[in-house]
Amino acid sequence: MTSSKQALAHPASSAEAASGDKPGAARGARGRGTPPPGPGSWRSRLYRWDMKASPYAFIAPFFIVFGAFSLVPLLYTAWYSLHNVQLSNLDSQEWAGLDNYQNLLSSDFFWNALWNTFTIGVISTVPQLMMAIGLAHLLNYRLRGSTLWRVVMLTPYATSVAAATLVFVLLYSWDGGAINWALGGIGIDPINWRESDWGSQFAVSSIVIWRWTGYNALIYLAAMQAIPSDLYESASLDGANRWQQFIHVTIPQLRPTILFTVVVSTIGATQLFGEPLLFGGVSGSKGGSDHQYQTLGLYMYDQGWIIGNLGKASAIAWSMFLILVIIAVINLVITRRLRKS
């Protein structure tokens, strides 16, 4: 409200400034031998040109940055994926056709990475979003210090992937780690979080869950606050208790938001990289001794910058992109279905 008041005060001042400018501009124009201002004059032509061109000028910076650092590289990545590009010898780039892709499809490590990306994605996303909805529901009550609760739930988001993972590595260590120590306290044998298949995947996922649950809870909370209260009133008139209201009013009303967070989390899960890299320590790019948590993102980094095959890394990048496109299409189909029903 205050901002619009402030803004209201400005047109007057800008008009003054504009009229103050006029004589100078007109004089300058006449000095160059153009006719005095009138309809179709230099000034009004400039004005019309300004009206037409300025929108494009305003969006240009974004599209220049996007074009130069995303779109063109994306196409070049496709080009490199069809070439043999070695980090050790960047000058010789030989045409390789679909070799890199064939190489990938016949590589166990690629399928392993694809499967790991999927399982870690599921383990990290499903519990995360379910907890986030529950948390949002609780934050939606009238709370004492509601802002403080929200900020506290968001603090993990302030922690970078690297910082968070370094801490979790220590918490999950085999002996002396706080988590195994706490498990021992309730009579559970220590778990080898670094070496075991499911243990390490769970550990990597827990870092993702820890960082993002609060963030998603806030997104759900925003959507919950936009649900009209009449829906709850009529539900309670029909005799629905709190739980039934949550299931029959809140969840259906959140459907578009849930879909949105699922898409965003899926995109994030497909690119998962920093957590498994740092979780692995010195040989992190392998994703564990048995590649048990090597994701696609990690596999690409390993092939490109550790082994030094940038052509193959480009092919992996494009495979990731194709997977995302497939997910987007599936998502579109589901959305259409939901709208129809």
Partner 1 sequence: MTTSELTIPQKTQKTEKVRRPRRPRVMGAGKQLHAGPVTYLVLTVFALVSLAPLVWTAIAASRTDERLAQTPPPLWFGGNLFKNMETAWEEAGLGTAMFNTTFVAGTITVSTVLFSTLAGFAFAKLRFRFSGVLLLLTIGTMMIPPQLAVVPLYLWMADLGWSNQLQTVILPTLCTAFGTFFMRQYLLQALPTELIEAARVDGASSLRVVWHVVFPAARPAMAVLGLLTFVFAWNDFLWPIIALNQENPTVQVALNSLGTGYVPDQAVIMAGALLGTLPLLIAFLLFGKQIVGGIMQGAIKG
Residues 20-59 that bind partner 1 (CB under 8 A): 47, 50-52, 54-59
105 vs 328, which CB is nearer to partner 1? 328
Which 269-298 residues touch partner 1, going by CB under 8 A?
Answer: 270-271, 273-274, 277-278, 281-282, 284, 297
The contacts of residue 182 (CB under 8 Å, 6+ apart) are none
CB of 137 to partner 1, least distance (A): 7
Tell me the two tokens of residue 146: 């509601």
Conformation bin of residue 89: beta by default, left when phi > 0, alpha when psi is -120 to 50: beta
Task: Say how far apart CA 105 and CA 111 lie, in whole Å.
Answer: 8
33 vs 137, which CB is nearer to partner 1? 137
CB of 341 to partner 1, least distance (A): 19
The one-letter code for the residue type at 309 is N
CB of 57 to partner 1, least distance (A): 8
CB of 280 to partner 1, least distance (A): 9
Task: Say how far apart CA 283 and CA 192 lie, in whole Å.
Answer: 17
Q: Is 141 exposed, middle or buried (0-12, 13-18, 19+ CB in 10 A)?
A: exposed
Contact residue for partner 1 among 121, 276, 287, 304 (CB under 8 A): 304
Task: Say how far apart CA 223 and CA 157 lie, in whole Å.
Answer: 20
196 vs 335, which CB is nearer to partner 1? 335
Q: Smallest Cα–Cα separation from 125: which of 299, 323, 259?
A: 259
33 vs 284, which CB is nearer to partner 1? 284
Which 161-190 residues touch partner 1, going by CB under 8 A?
Answer: 161-171, 175-178, 181
123 vs 278, which CB is nearer to partner 1? 278
CB of 291 to partner 1, least distance (A): 17
29 vs 227, which CB is nearer to partner 1? 227
CB of 148 to partner 1, least distance (A): 8
DSSP 6-52: HHHHHHHHHHHHHHHHHHHHHHHHHHTTPPPS-TTSHHHHHHHHHHH
CB of 290 to partner 1, least distance (A): 19
Segment interacting with partner 1, rule: CB under 8 A, options 109-117, 193-201, 286-294, 307-315: 307-315
Tell me the two tokens of residue 119: 């399982």
33 vs 286, which CB is nearer to partner 1? 286
What does each C-alpha distance from 34 to 20, 31, 44 come to in angstroms? Answer: 20, 8, 13
Task: Say how far apart CA 287 and CA 204 lie, in whole Å.
Answer: 10
Contact residue for partner 1 among 154, 262, 306, 307 (CB under 8 A): 154
Tell me the two tokens of residue 325: 């496109």
Conformation bin of residue 144: beta by default, left when phi > 0, alpha when psi is -120 to 50: beta
Which 92-121 residues touch partner 1, going by CB under 8 A?
Answer: none
Sign of the torsion angle spanned by Cα atoms 306, 307, 311, 314: negative
122 vs 179, which CB is nearer to partner 1? 179
CB of 330 to partner 1, least distance (A): 13
To 5 degrees, how large is the angle CA 57–CA 62–CA 65?
120
Task: Say how far apart CA 118 and CA 297 lie, in whole Å.
Answer: 12
What is the total count of residues that contact partner 1 (CB under 8 A)?
Answer: 126
Neighbours of 137 (CB within 10 A): 18
123 vs 286, which CB is nearer to partner 1? 286
Which 202-261 residues touch partner 1, going by CB under 8 A?
Answer: 210, 214-215, 218-219, 221-230, 232-233, 236, 241-242, 249-250, 256-257, 260
CB of 30 to partner 1, least distance (A): 18
Which 68-97 residues touch partner 1, going by CB under 8 A?
Answer: 69-70, 72-74, 76-77, 80, 85, 90
